[in-house]
Structure 1
Amino acid sequence: MTTVCTADQMRAAEQTWFDAHPGKDLMAVAAHAVAVEAEQMLGAHEGRRVLILVGGGDNGGDGLFAATELASSGHSVELLSVLGIPQAEGWRAALAAGCRQVTPTDVLHQRYDLAVDSVLGIGGRPGIPRVLMRTDEWLVKSGTPVLAVDLPSGLVADSGEVTTAVHAAVTITFASRKWCHVAHPAARRCGDVVVADIGVDVLDADDLVTREDLAHLWPVPGPRSDKYSRGVVGLDTGSAQYSGAGVLGALGALRTGPGMVRCAGPDNVGDRVIARAPSVVVGEGRVQAWVVGSGWGSAPGNAARLDRRLADGVPVVVDADALAVLPRRIPGNCLLTPHAGELARMLGVDRSEVEADPRGHCLAGARMFAATVLLKGSIQWVATPSGDVVAALPGPAWTGQAGSGDVLAGMCGTLLATGMEARDAAVCAASLQALTATLNPGPWSPDQLANRFPSTIAELLG
């Protein structure tokens, strides 16, 4: 796992450090980390030409003191003041070290080996001024790699949204990743993210699943595995009106590596599933987990349909329409997979409240129903009744379309059937779907994306 924090969490952690170290400053430590990363990007060469984009505040100060260190190492360093009044002490030190101030006009049509973006930090607003846009356009056009300090200017620390922002090849941030480093589309502007240890501990940061975690957690069959030991997942999904949900869930389950998939939905659903996936077995039988609710519609018999599956005593993925008829307490190791609107109805709050604090409401749902909750969205949160909260690997916004949740429910069912805990099944399924979308950019439909899950798994485990 890696950690991700908000801007407020980072500020609080820094204040705790300052309180414990009166009279000391973090700027020199952060600036040195920036200079070290810049040297690595420049390679083992002296006399390289470096442009430092400087803003006001601490972020600009980090860039200026890094400029001083780079100039002292023999590089030709130029300073472009873009926004705000540069930090006075850092500006004087950089000029004294031989750095040269330039204008925006000077920069255009010049060639640099590296640019350092230290204009806006975690306190910045979305977007960048026109002068920085023009500079960024030139750096992109000329092929100049950019090292962003904390985050590329124009991004917002707590958001994946992008209006206008600098394009970074590498972003060096401090103590913990911020949400813009992992949430799309902002993450694409950050390039490779390096987390520098500056001695600050963000104790309340959240855990984020990584590719390495996903590879470690993924269940892999052994030479003596059979269809039952690998896990049999049963799907009681779909209806006469929404038979496609049953097909999508079956594809999600099948492409995630089960021993067997059973389809126990209505006859018309079974017919469509078999036509698309002939290895699925239609009818009742032994299962290690159930997936219910996807495509049920608002039928009067939904509560009884759910009770029947809960009575089997195996883990159940409760999705979509089954969420509306949940009892307050359900068997252990079950997984609820609502989107924001469904979770709002379950908790009796407005959707806007869930969207404003998805993490907190995900945890509230887990505690209310004594079950693990996977809250679907741009950042997918997983919470357990014991208070464990983790974020799945984020993916692009292309997956926000009808049918993606049906596929995801089937994936979760397969992983529950292998014997995984609900928390791990949820984070693995959501992360695999997101990673597959990241590796296959574009508007793939949910069933098309499901067909690419095996290649993603093979790449992970290879």
Structure 2
Amino acid sequence: MIEAWSVADVRAAEEPLLAAGVPLMERASFALATVIARDLARRRSVALPDGGRRDGRVTGARAVLLVGSGNNGGDTLHAGAYLARRGVDVLAVLTGEHAHVGGLQALRAAGGRVEVLVGSPDDASRTERSHDHLDPHVADRVAAQVARADVVLDGLVGIGARGALRGVAADLVRRLGAVLDDGPGPGEPGRPWVVAVDAPSGIGVDDGTVPGPVLRADRTVTFGAAKPGLLLPPATHLAGHGAVVDIGLRLGAPARDHASGDARAGAAAGNGAPARADVSATPVVRRLEPADVAALWSVPGATDHKYTRGVVGVVAGTPTFPGAAVLTATAAVRTGPGMVRYRGPDDVTRAVLAARPEVVPAAGRVQSWVLGPGVPPVPGPDDDPVDDGGQHERVRYALSAATGELSAGVVGGRVPVVVDAGALSLVPDRCPPWVVLTPHAGELATLLRERGDDVTRTDVEAEPLRWARRAHEATGATVLLKGSATVVVGPDGAWSQADAPAWLATAGAGDVLAGILGTVLAAHAERVVHEPGLAARLAAAAAVVHGLAAERANPGGPVAALDVADAVPAVVAALLAAR
């Protein structure tokens, strides 16, 4: 599991080490250079006669460092000095008035070159006199150098920066972004490998926002612990692969690569076990890895039968949208419950049974409900009536049963419930955490406006964590906010999963996720009702399986929602085989 910590917590963990004279910059820069050298060797690999490949030479590679003021710039310059001593041609482009003195001296001593865009530290020549904007001719020259580089280090600002990049740094990032967008795609041959130092410059490090221009990274090397902005949308899509390098901080369990699965890069200085500082804090956000999902997954034993493995009740689809019921029921069946019960109009029931004859179209005990896919919202007083096929009433009854509002004459008692699409309009003012709301950004904005918040879909997309938290606070329910990365918020904190390909943005994908989640909750129903934070962890696990199934359905290409559902069994089998 990856845990991401706030800037304040990271700073608190650094303070006693710095006070004790521990060389954190040396550790960080050495580890940064080590990761970059490894990446360069792999990208410059050469073919072998047997068809395999071996790592290429780092000597002769070209690196451009984008360097701002402060310690982040110092980390970048010192890393450049290490690379220069390994035979890399290093050019540092300084965008701040005050470069880190020690880092600049180390780089020059190692043979690195320096170009100054603002100010004139020591004997470097000044190429730009304006402190507010970058001369277009200078920008073009730097862009040409970047285009020819093998690797570019983004060390413009550190994790303490707030707000959008400004002035010369912003101008430079915009120009470089335009140049790189015109060339080969990210990670492809002929395109420089962009490495963000600690975090891509310009992102909201604590909240994942993107308030201005950001140079998209192919890899982020972050120091001591993952930062929330590397996991949270929309910034997570700009961070690339990751490596958390150990510099001696203790902020929870050892972290792993936040995107590619690479292990922690290790202690930077290499002089035995590093001195450490322990800080007791809570992660801002977590991310499940495949092994975590496998550990959460319920596997039937020899004495289990269909009623002990979890029975999922589905209220989905209408005569206008029968496909949603088919997709939800199919996904639930393919995820491996003991039984799926369907409740809905007769013509929709026939469509479900034609696709999935295993489904039981009868009332009875369930261990979870999936409510709302394909069901329209309840119309407002000024809206035209809708043909819901009686589904609104079925949703109301199931919600009441699941939350315990009906205590007499209800079979099964309180159980977890997934509330999707039109059923969101029927959510009561307060819910227990075993109710999992699964809105997309527009639906979440509507839900919050109905509770008095002035928020739009655009606001939710810009700050997903903020508004998912607000929805959890406003309703008490666990909230799974669907999007390019899925954000889940529950009583024990937040989770962010970015396991799905962009191709998954397709009609019916949310119905499939609802069916997967309903099955996962049913398998743990009793625990979910009694452990407030478990629903969020299981929701994050369902999002992982959903994303992996989309990739497995057609790697690198388009997928349809039904293909995703059909790929779920193989994904689950692969996860369990690896645990």
User: Does structure 2 conserve the Cα–Cα contact (< 8 Å) formed by 1:173 and 1:196?
Assistant: yes
Q: Which residue of 2 aligns with 1:296?
A: 375
Q: CA–CA distance in 2 between the matches of 1:162 and 1:222?
A: 53
- List per-residue Cα deviations over 1:420-454 (Å, max 9, x = no partner): 53223311212221233345444423222222222
1:228 aligns with 2:332: no
Aligned to 2:516: 411
* Matched-pair contact (CA < 8 Å) for 2:232–2:496: no
User: Secondary structure of the residue that 1:230 maps to in structure 2?
Assistant: coil
Work out the CA distance in 2 between the residues paired with 1:374 and 1:106. 44
Report the counterpart of residue 97 of structure 1 in structure 2: 110
Task: Rate the CA distance shift 1:131–1:49 in 2: closer, same or farther, 3 A.
Answer: same
Q: CA contact under 8 A between 1:248 and 1:446: conserved in structure 2?
A: yes
CA contact (8 A) 1:46 1:75 kept: no
**2:523 partner letter:** T
Q: Is residue 452 of structure 1 aligned with residue 557 of structure 2?
A: no
Partner Cα separation in structure 2 for residue 154 and residue 21 of structure 1:
26
Cα distance in 2 for partners of 1:379, 1:367 equals: 21
User: How far off is 1:394 after superposition?
Assistant: 4.5
Name the residue aligned to 2:136: none
Partner of 1:4: 4
* Partner secondary structure for residue 292 of structure 2: helix
Q: Mean alpha-carbon deviation: is it higher for 100-109 or for 81-90?
A: 100-109
> Which of 475, 479, 484 lines up with 1:378 in the alignment?
484
Aligned with 2:307: secondary structure? Answer: helix
> Equivalences for 1:18-417 in 2 at 5 Å?
18=15, 21=18, 26-41=24-39, 48-54=59-65, 55-57=67-69, 58-72=71-85, 74-81=86-93, 83-84=95-96, 86-100=99-113, 115-121=151-157, 123=161, 125=165, 128-130=173-175, 141-142=189-190, 147-151=195-199, 157=205, 158-159=208-209, 165=215, 168=218, 170-178=219-227, 181-182=230-231, 190-200=239-249, 203=281, 204-297=283-376, 298=378, 304-309=393-398, 310-311=400-401, 312=411, 313=413, 314-330=415-431, 333-339=434-440, 340-345=444-449, 347-352=451-456, 354-355=460-461, 357-384=463-490, 386-417=491-522
Deviations 1:259-297 (A, max 9, x none): 221212111111111222222222223322221222232
Contact 1:160/1:182, CA 8 A, preserved across alignment: no
**SS of equivalent residue, structure 1 residue 177:** coil
Q: Is the 8 A contact 2:63 2:88 kept in 1?
A: no
Corresponding pairs, count: 454
Cα distance in structure 2, aligned partners of 1:393 and 1:430:
9
Write 1 or 2 for the structure with the bigger share of helix: 1
Per the TM alignment, residue 375 of structure 1 is displaced from its structure 2 partner at its CA by 2.5
> Relative to 1, partners in 2 of residues 1:342 and 1:435: Cα closer, same or farther, differing over 3 Å?
farther
Which whole-Å deviations, capped at 9, do the CAs of 1:202-254 have from their partners, x for residues lacking one?
Answer: 74431122222112212223344332222221112222222222112112212
- One-letter amino acid of the structure 1 residue matched with residue 511 of structure 2: D
**Aligned equivalents of 1:78 and 1:331: distance in 2?**
57
What is the one-letter code of the residue matched to 1:96?
A
Kindly indicate whether the alpha-carbon contact (under 8 Å) linking 1:320 and 1:342 is maintained by their aligned counterparts in 2: no
1:14-38 per-residue CA deviation (whole Å, 9 max, x = no partner) reads 3773488459674333212212323
Please report how far the alpha carbon of residue 75 of structure 1 lies from its aligned counterpart in structure 2 after TM superposition.
2.9
Partner of 1:429: 542
**Structure 1 residues 163 and 246: CA distance shift in structure 2, 3 A:** farther
Looking at structure 2, the residues matched to 252 and 29 of structure 1 have their Cα atoms a distance apart, in angstroms, of 48
Letter matched to residue 149 of structure 1: V
Structure 1: state its 5+ residue gaps: none
Q: In structure 2, what is the Cα distance between the partners aligned to 1:452 and 1:342?
A: 32
Q: Distance in 1 between matches of 2:538 and 2:63?
A: 45
Moved more, 28-37 or 119-128: 119-128
CA contact (8 A) 2:372 2:421 kept: yes
* Comparing 100-109 and 210-219, the one that deviates more: 100-109
For 2:559 and 2:482, the matched residues in 1 are separated by 18
Q: Percent identity?
A: 35
Secondary structure, aligned partner of 2:79: helix
Higher mean Cα deviation, 51-60 or 411-420? 51-60
> SS where residue 327 of structure 2 aligns?
helix
Distance 1:261 1:171, change over 3 A: same
Deviation at 1:406, TM superposition (A): 2.0
TM-score (norm 1): 0.82
Q: Give the Å deviation of 1:59.
A: 3.4
Amino acid at match of 2:497: A
Unpaired segments ≥5 residues, structure 2: 42-54, 116-140, 252-280, 379-385, 402-410, 529-534
8 Å contact kept, 1:208–1:392? yes
- Aligned residues: CA RMSD: 3.9
Deviation at residue 107 of structure 1 after TM alignment: 5.3
SS across alignment from 2:546: helix
CA contact (8 A) 2:343 2:362 kept: yes
Q: Which secondary structure does the structure 2 equivalent of 1:454 belong to?
A: helix
Aligned pair partner of 2:10 in 13, 16, 19: 13
SS of 1:343 mapped into structure 2 = helix
Q: Which amino acid aligns with 1:56?
A: G
CA distance in 2, matches of 1:398, 1:184: 17
